[in-house]
Amino acid sequence: MGDTDRIYAPRKLLTIGCCVQESLSIHQGKGIPQPDILRSARVPATYISGSDGEKPVNPASGLQEDNLDGNETIARILKLEGVEWVACFPSNNLIEAVAKEGIRLVMFRHERGAVMAADGFSRSSDRKGFGVVITQGGPGAENAMGGIAQAFADNSPILLLPGGPGLAAWSVRPNFSPSRAYDPIAKQSEAIFQSGQVGNVMRRAFHALRNGKAGPVVVETPADIAAGEVPDGVLSGYQSPKRFISTPSLSDVKDAVKLLLSAKKPVIWAGGGVLFGGATEELKELAELTDIPVYTTMQGKSAFPEDHPLALGAGSGATTLPAYTWLQESDVLFAIGSSLSHTGYGQPIPAGKVIIQNTDNVEDINKQESVDVALPGDAKATLLMVIDEVKAAIGEKGRKTGVASEIARVRQQWMSEWTGLLNSEDEPVNTYRVVGEIERGLDKTKSIVTHDAGAPRDSIIPFYRATTPHGYIGWGKTTHLGFGIPLMIGAKMAYPDRFCLNLMGDGAFGMSGLDIETSVRAGAPITTVVLNNGGMATYPGGYPTARELYGVTEMGGDYAQIAEGMGAVGITVTKPGEMATAIADAQRHNSEGRTVLIDVHSNFESKKSKFS
């Protein structure tokens, strides 16, 4: 019996032929139904009598199955799949069909914002719940493209349901087909060409959302398919696809453990797959057993508690000195839940390292890094196997190398350079004083924080220490200004009891500021901190001629007053000492159901924690 055939059961996972089916249960505390409760969709149809004979009834919904059109069938499938809310922007008759199924709808002020909110929900839900978006065909689907591109870059699983032209006009220019246009930036993109295929297409969509590499899934419904009657049996024959967990071969796991334990200065590189796999506790156990420090990518930030003695911190283009030191000096790098994609918004891996890579997509292995040992599979299942092999090699108690004290020493050295700025009394308010007050003022076990693109991202990533999974949402292989507001609305929908805060610049506010009103209207109170410095702080010295002659990169506004006009609470901060009070007030207002915008009159702070 070879390694790929061996029955291997680390804890509660059963691996046969390197594939295991995960039994999912209700996700406590978040109200996200899981596939286990969808078994009712598989019960054979029952019947009711009527004036025109017996009609099949779907037992999961108690409604007649026949005479449903395409939109009604899709809406019913969303209900069966446990979808509780949908982001949208009219016009699409699927919106009405979804409402009739009792699924909550939240309309955003722009299609891109709706997609980004769905993305925020998915990023917060560990592939146990998915953000769903409905847009109009044509211009509505066109407007959504930026949000889909962002989700594709960061491997975030969302479902976009746009309308489309009728079949007779589907291939006629210049009609816009979302499924064709989005194919390069979607994990899966498909149009429904026959009414009888509605169930099959939707099953493939949910399978893609739950399994393999995460990413956006697009299902286009041409107008005549949406309005046309769906044949009997499509709905009763629908079976909700489960999540299947793949694991690496045992021989590769053994090879990886040998490399890890024999390394002189190993480092763990934790990506977003750790969060999607719900593998934080397993990552902690491995780190503590082996005494190996952990660095998290921007998408992986919050996958490992940053107050842990073995935490090196997280990185965008900026990072901590401990993270930079170990990434430079390590001889073996173990990437967990990471594609190892190169990006200008992340830390590079220096050449010459031995690399072990875990990812749920084999196409990411050897993509841009030469990988010595590949461990394709689910992050959590892989970590369980690695932990068992480590214990077999060094015992249940693990080892101590003294690396934690070395990390603490390097961190102290680094922080000595930054403590002054994080407590600065300068006016206008220093950006790092804002970051420092956010770091000091939140209960991190009950908060979710994110950045926006540009200077806010590189200012907060190194210094805000996330301690709870999804307590920080990092994003940005493609960096759309304005993601923070709708992203936090989506996160609030996933975690209604958490305080949700986004830090953004005034340029980013211009891209999505009107969705402050969406937050108010939807009863999803968030806090937005705007660094109002009158310009684009990412380019403080850039474009001198364009700026002098035409005011390029300059902007202004009273953002607190704008927020008040949309029904939110506006707070203006002009002095450093006001920031802590503003954050405390924001938490109180949010807890009482009010959305808050804090307008901070801040400086152009160009210093970043970068080392090359």
Q: Where are the domains of the chain?
A: 31-242, 246-406, 423-601
Mean pLDDT of 247-251: 98
The pLDDT value given to residue 583: 98
Alpha carbons 520 and 593: distance in angstroms, whole number: 8
Q: Give the right CATH number for 246-406 from 3.40.470.10, 1.10.10.60, 3.40.50.1220, 3.10.180.10.
A: 3.40.50.1220
Alpha carbons 219 and 168: distance in angstroms, whole number: 18
End-to-end CA distance of the chain: 50
Per DSSP bridges, beta strands 53-58 and 63-64 are: antiparallel
Kindly list the strands in the beta sheet with 596-601, ordered across the sheet, starting from the edge strand earlier in the chain: 472-473, 447-451, 499-505, 527-532, 596-601, 569-573
CATH number for the domain formed by residue range(s) 31-242: 3.40.50.970
Above 80 in pLDDT, residue 53? no
Alpha carbons 98 and 80: distance in angstroms, whole number: 12
- Check if 246-406 and 423-601 are the same fold: yes
Alpha carbons 354 and 259: distance in angstroms, whole number: 8
Instruction: Give this prediction's pTM.
Output: 0.89
- Using CA of residue 434, residue 436, residue 441, residue 446, what is the dihedral sign? positive
Alpha carbons 399 and 487: distance in angstroms, whole number: 41
Range with the poorest average pLDDT among 211-215, 298-302, 365-369, 474-478: 474-478
Q: How confident is the model at residue 66 (pLDDT cuts 50, 70, 90)?
A: low
| Residues pairing with 55 in the sheet | 48
The pLDDT value given to residue 468: 97
Q: Which of 557, 537, 542 is nearest to 460 (CA)?
A: 537
Q: Which of 501, 518, 508 is nearest to 482 (CA)?
A: 508
Mean pLDDT of 159-178: 93
CATH number for the domain formed by residue range(s) 423-601: 3.40.50.970
For 2-29, letters b (16+ CB in 10 Å) and e give: eeeeeebebeebebeebebebebeebee
Structure tokens at 250: 């045992």
Above 60 in pLDDT, residue 46? no
Above 60 in pLDDT, residue 37? no
